[in-house]
């Protein structure tokens, strides 16, 4: 008797706990194809383009619906979108994310919110739009598929575009509190327009040619690391630098550069600065020699400084000013390439 | 009564050593040690082997357990058990079934564990053999699929943690990986007299630590330390990247089952240990009353995992107390053995 009661309870439990309690129909699921983030008056304006797939007799097609939500944070913006659509937002199939200038200073919120979404696959590309994000951008035909494929084709075949996934962006922001994104222009059609480097208080734009230079010098390489130590008593500066093998293969060019700088002592920060400029100049001259370049482009080199915590405030301030942008202008209108000054940005 | 083979003991040890570290070891270690987590795991493994060499006896000698000791162990298993169940239910809910209620997950998991624990350690040992083949299969696919996404540069910088915090983190890892393995000393083993499973336990522990080291290397090498520190279970997140021939992907749900095996086995062994302690504490009760007490324990575990606020001391402190207790007991027993020897 007890066995039968036990079996009955078990069967009831099996039927009650499994099954369709939390079942969601496909058309009740809001599959997000694209995300647009814009900030206005300290509020986030979140644009989500939903994909509605339809199966017809001979083919299957899809429609897109754009919904915009605003709020003090991402959660409230998503809630507003949910109220409009009555569909639960599903981030598993995001094709791209687009940001604009107003997102400067809000990357922490963007990165931390979307990293928490378990369904999100963070391999989708993130792009920067040269103008304010509006519904007209999402109205461009097939943008969910055109934009990612345009990025891929340009990156692989023409080497004029960065390809930055959300994961790359998050990693870069968490490590360096800055992001480097490809820029799109969307007037009547979709066009790639270089790249942009954004930190909390700085924005630096790069043209397509500059991006090519960045890809030449930055893509697939280990960064050059300089460890700077200052002797607080004598004010002497010791620099330990290491560069690793640089393999560049865009557009079927093979270049290998391997240089290593051992430890060097400098009497003070000024002489170090001059020596660094000289070192980078000779480094870039080597690249130019090997490239035998005859196109207009700018070189951009990122140097990562690892600060010694015992360094003085002056040195640290100077290093922070120095850290990311160090560009040399080169002119290739004549056969002789000439180096003109260097700009510290 | 079928005896348990050495390989089954080794496989149990293999799975148990990974269970708690996967649940809350990685997230803590990555936060504290960064890239030095790899060194932490290596150092912690050595420390764990040292603990196991001391704690696991050379010969399996039947020792009488006092009622007081049984009561203390019962209380420990109950409080540790509901924390473990809560962690497992949270893991399944957030990583595998976000739309299923944690209540249902905890109840189903506990029910499954209770039914299997009633069968005894022999069935659990056989289960571990079968699960090992699945584990190998899933792990191999994971390794092959994750290889192209690996960056050696993300493993740097090493040796940035101070020595004392590094040692403390090694101890943390050793405690988390050794305590579940010690369940094998508590549960009743049908084994030949004077047979030692010491070597099997050590080999299984080493195998488990190797897998954990590989998981840490993969997590760091694919995500990088800034991203790894954002996730509670980075070794599950990296599975999302697996794609074969550019088309076949989205295997992470199936592949993440490999991490569930150790958790299931640790819960089952914990339940077997609870049954044993109940029998020792309430030895005068009839079998039906003891089963009734087990049902009460079941309810305690379920309510503790889902409703009751957790034990005030962090779980790690509880595990440390257990480990220290086992060490003291071992030393006392060792002293007694020496004094009784002619």
Predicted confidence (pLDDT) per residue in B158-201, tens digit: 888 889 999 999 999 999 999 999 988 887 666 655 456 888 89
Is residue A194 domain-shared with residue A239, that is, in the same domain? Answer: no
* A235: in domain: yes
Tokens in use for A67?
């919904």
Interface contact B230-A119, CB threshold 8 A: no
Is residue A195 domain-shared with residue A274, that is, in the same domain? Answer: no
* B87: in domain: yes
* A149: in domain: yes
Is residue A195 domain-shared with residue A273, that is, in the same domain? Answer: no
State whether residue A254 sits within 8 Å of chain B by CB: no
Identify the residue whose tokens are 């049908």.
B190
Q: Which of A121, A174, A222 sits opposite B226 (nearest CB)?
A: A174
**Among A302-311, B58-67, B252-261, the least confident range:** A302-311
Interface contact B240-A118, CB threshold 8 A: no
Q: Is the pTM of this model over 0.90?
A: no
| Alpha carbon of A121: minimum distance to chain B alpha carbons (Å) | 7
State whether residue A24 sits within 8 Å of chain B by CB: yes
For residue B112, is pLDDT > 80? yes
Helix (H) / strand (E) element for B142: namely helix B121-146
Interface contact A171-B224, CB threshold 8 A: yes
Interface contact B104-A17, CB threshold 8 A: yes
* B10: in domain: yes
Is residue A162 domain-shared with residue A38, that is, in the same domain? Answer: yes
* B341: in domain: no
* A253: in domain: yes
Is residue A33 domain-shared with residue A105, that is, in the same domain? Answer: yes
Q: In this predicted complex, what is the ipTM?
A: 0.82
Q: What is the rounded CA–CA span in Å between residue B56 and residue A137?
A: 67
* B325: in domain: yes
Determine contact, residues A328/A298, Cβ cutoff 8 Å.
yes
Is residue A186 domain-shared with residue A54, that is, in the same domain? Answer: yes
Number of domains into which chain B is organized:
1
**A26, exposed or middle or buried, with CB in 10 Å at 0-12, 13-18, 19+?**
exposed
HEC per residue, A277-314: HHHHHHHHHHHHHHHCCCCCCCEECCEEEEECCCCCHH
Q: What is the rounded CA–CA span in Å between residue B255 and residue B257?
A: 5
| CATH of residue B110 | 1.20.1740.10
Q: Strand order in A326-331's β-sheet?
A: A299-300, A326-331, A338-344
Distances from the Cα of A145 to the Cαs of A33, A64, A158, B225, in angstroms? 9, 12, 19, 32
| Alpha carbon of B138: minimum distance to chain A alpha carbons (Å) | 21
Minimal Cα distance from A22: which residue of B?
B99
Is residue A48 domain-shared with residue A162, that is, in the same domain? Answer: yes
Q: Which of B95, B99, B226 sits opposite A22 (nearest CB)?
A: B99
Determine contact, residues A299/A332, Cβ cutoff 8 Å.
no
pLDDT, mean over chain B: 86
* Residues 103-122 of chain A whose Cβ lies under 8 A from any Cβ of chain B: 112, 115, 118-119, 121
> What pLDDT is attached to residue B142?
93
Tokens in use for B269?
């062994």
| Residue/partner pairs of B272-276 with CB below 8 Å, 24 or more apart | B272/B117, B272/B120, B272/B121, B272/B124, B272/B187, B273/B73, B273/B77, B273/B183, B273/B186, B273/B187, B274/B74, B274/B77, B274/B78, B274/B81, B275/B117, B275/B118, B276/B186, B276/B187, B276/B188
Is residue A285 domain-shared with residue A146, that is, in the same domain? Answer: no
Is residue A180 domain-shared with residue A61, that is, in the same domain? Answer: yes
Instruction: Supply angle C-alpha B181, B27, A307, rounded to 5.
Output: 130
Residues from chain B that touch A6, judged by Cβ atoms under 8 A, are none
CB neighbour list of residue A22: distance below 8 Å, 6 or more residues apart: B99, B100, B101
Q: What is the rounded CA–CA span in Å between residue B246 and residue B265?
A: 36
- CA dihedral (B321, B324, B325, B331) in degrees, to 10, reads 180
> What pLDDT is attached to residue A307?
40
How much of chain B exceeds pLDDT 70, in percent? 91
To test the contact with chain B by mutation, choose from A121, A166, A176, A218 the residue with the greatest count of B C-beta atoms within 10 A, namely: A121
Is residue A129 domain-shared with residue A41, that is, in the same domain? Answer: yes
Is residue A152 domain-shared with residue A202, that is, in the same domain? Answer: yes
Q: How far is CA A222 from the centre of its chain?
A: 17
> What pLDDT is attached to residue B47?
95
* A6: in domain: no
Across the range B135-146, mean pLDDT stands at 93
Is residue A71 domain-shared with residue A179, that is, in the same domain? Answer: yes
Determine contact, residues A124/A97, Cβ cutoff 8 Å.
yes
Q: What is the rounded CA–CA span in Å between residue A321 and residue A84?
A: 47
Range of the domain at B168: 6-332
Cis status, amide bond into B157, omega within 30 of 0: yes
* B61: in domain: yes
* A256: in domain: yes
Range of the domain at A88: 28-206
Determine contact, residues B27/B230, Cβ cutoff 8 Å.
no
The phi and psi torsions of B218 (rounded to 5 degrees) equal: -65, -45
Interface contact B226-A170, CB threshold 8 A: yes
Minimal Cα distance from A169: which residue of B?
B227
State whether residue A171 sits within 8 Å of chain B by CB: yes
* B213: in domain: yes
Residues from chain A that touch B224, judged by Cβ atoms under 8 A, are 171, 175
Residues from chain B that touch A121, judged by Cβ atoms under 8 A, are 240
Number of domains into which chain A is organized:
2
* A55: in domain: yes
Nearest residue to B38 (alpha-carbon basis) of B164, B200, B182, B160: B160
Minimal Cα distance from B229: which residue of A?
A174
Residues from chain B that touch A115, judged by Cβ atoms under 8 A, are 227, 230-231
Among the ranges A329-338, B129-138, B320-329, which has the highest mean pLDDT value? B129-138
* B194: in domain: yes
Residues from chain B that touch A170, judged by Cβ atoms under 8 A, are 226-227, 230
Neighbours of A317 (CB within 10 A): 11
Interface contact A118-B153, CB threshold 8 A: no
Distances from the Cα of A312 to the Cαs of A141, A232, A240, A316, B342, in angstroms? 56, 7, 17, 6, 70
pLDDT, one tens digit for every residue, chain A (345 residues)? 777 777 777 777 666 665 555 566 777 788 899 999 999 888 999 999 988 866 555 555 677 888 899 999 899 999 999 888 878 888 988 999 999 999 998 999 999 999 988 888 888 999 999 888 877 788 776 777 788 888 877 766 555 577 889 999 999 888 878 888 899 887 767 778 888 888 887 787 776 656 655 554 454 333 444 455 556 666 565 544 444 434 443 333 334 444 443 344 556 666 666 655 555 455 445 444 444 343 332 233 333 333 443 444 544 444 444 333 333 222 222 222 223 333 322
Top-confidence residue, B342 or B177: B177
Across the range B298-327, mean pLDDT stands at 81
Q: What is the rounded CA–CA span in Å between residue A333 and residue B9?
A: 76
To test the contact with chain A by mutation, choose from B227, B249, B253 the residue with the greatest count of A C-beta atoms within 10 A, namely: B227
* A10: in domain: no
């Amino acid at each position: 008797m007890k066995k039968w009661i036990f079996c009955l309870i078990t069967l009831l439990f099996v039927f009650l706990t499994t099954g369709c309690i939390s079942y969601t129909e496909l058309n009740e699921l809001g599959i997000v194809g694209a995300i647009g983030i814009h900030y206005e008056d300290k509020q986030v304006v979140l644009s989500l383009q939903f994909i509605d797939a339809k199966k017809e007799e001979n083919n299957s097609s899809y429609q897109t619906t754009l919904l915009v939500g605003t709020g003090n944070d991402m959660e409230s913006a998503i809630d507003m979108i949910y109220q409009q659509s009555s569909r639960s937002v599903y981030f598993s199939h995001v094709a791209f994310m687009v940001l604009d200038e107003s997102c400067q200073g809000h990357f922490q919120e963007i990165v931390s919110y979307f990293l928490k979404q378990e369904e999100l696959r963070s391999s989708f590309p993130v792009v920067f739009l040269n103008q304010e994000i509006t519904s007209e951008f999402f109205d461009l035909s097939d943008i969910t598929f055109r934009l990612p494929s345009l990025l891929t084709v340009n990156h692989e075949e023409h080497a004029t575009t960065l390809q930055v996934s959300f994961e790359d962006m998050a990693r870069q922001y968490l490590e360096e509190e800055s992001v480097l994104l490809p820029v799109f222009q969307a007037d009547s059609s979709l066009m790639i327009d270089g790249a942009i480097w954004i930190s909390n208080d700085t924005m630096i734009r790069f043209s397509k040619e500059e991006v090519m230079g960045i890809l030449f010098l930055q893509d697939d390489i280990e960064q050059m690391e300089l460890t700077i130590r200052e002797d607080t008593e004598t004010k002497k500066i010791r620099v330990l630098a290491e560069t690793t093998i640089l393999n560049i293969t865009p557009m079927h060019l093979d270049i290998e550069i391997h240089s290593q700088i051992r430890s060097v002592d400098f009497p003070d920060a000024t002489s170090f600065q001059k020596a660094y400029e000289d070192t980078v100049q000779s480094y870039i001259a080597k690249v130019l020699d090997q490239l035998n370049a005859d196109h207009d482009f700018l070189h951009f080199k990122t140097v990562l400084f690892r600060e010694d915590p015992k360094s003085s405030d002056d040195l640290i301030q100077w290093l922070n000013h120095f850290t990311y942008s160090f560009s040399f202008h080169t002119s290739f209108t004549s056969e002789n390439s000439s180096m003109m000054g260097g700009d510290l940005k | 009564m079928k005896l348990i083979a050495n390989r089954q003991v080794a496989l149990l040890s293999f799975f148990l050593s990974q269970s708690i570290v996967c649940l809350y070891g990685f997230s803590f270690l990555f936060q504290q040690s960064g890239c030095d987590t790899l060194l932490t795991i290596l150092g912690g493994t050595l420390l764990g082997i040292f603990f196991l060499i001391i704690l696991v006896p050379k010969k399996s000698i039947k020792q009488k357990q006092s009622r007081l000791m049984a009561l203390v162990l019962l209380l420990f298993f109950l409080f540790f058990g509901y924390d473990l169940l809560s962690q497992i239910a949270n893991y399944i809910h957030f990583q595998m079934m976000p739309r299923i209620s944690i209540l249902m997950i905890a109840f189903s998991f506990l029910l499954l564990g209770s039914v299997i624990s009633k069968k005894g350690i022999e069935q659990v040992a056989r289960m571990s053999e079968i699960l090992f083949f699945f584990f190998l299969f899933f792990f191999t696919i994971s390794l092959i699929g994750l290889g192209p996404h690996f960056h050696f540069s993300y493993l740097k910088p090493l040796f940035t943690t101070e020595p004392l915090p590094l040692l403390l983190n090694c101890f943390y890892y050793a405690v988390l990986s050794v305590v579940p393995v010690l369940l094998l000393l508590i549960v009743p083993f049908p084994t030949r007299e004077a047979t030692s499973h010491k070597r099997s336990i050590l080999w299984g522990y080493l195998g488990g630590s190797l897998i954990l080291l590989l998981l840490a290397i993969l997590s760091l090498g694919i995500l990088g330390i800034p991203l790894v520190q954002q996730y509670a279970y980075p070794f599950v997140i990296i599975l999302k990247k697996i794609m074969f021939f550019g088309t076949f992907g989205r295997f992470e749900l199936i592949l993440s089952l490999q991490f569930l095996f150790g958790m299931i086995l640790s819960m089952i062994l914990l339940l077997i240990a609870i049954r044993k302690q109940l029998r020792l504490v309430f030895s005068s009760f009839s079998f039906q009353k003891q089963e009734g007490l087990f049902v009460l324990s079941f309810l305690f575990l379920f309510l503790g995992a889902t409703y009751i606020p957790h034990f005030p001391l962090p779980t790690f402190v509880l595990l440390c107390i257990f480990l220290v207790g086992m060490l003291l007991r071992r030393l006392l027993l060792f002293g007694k053995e020496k004094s009784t020897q002619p």
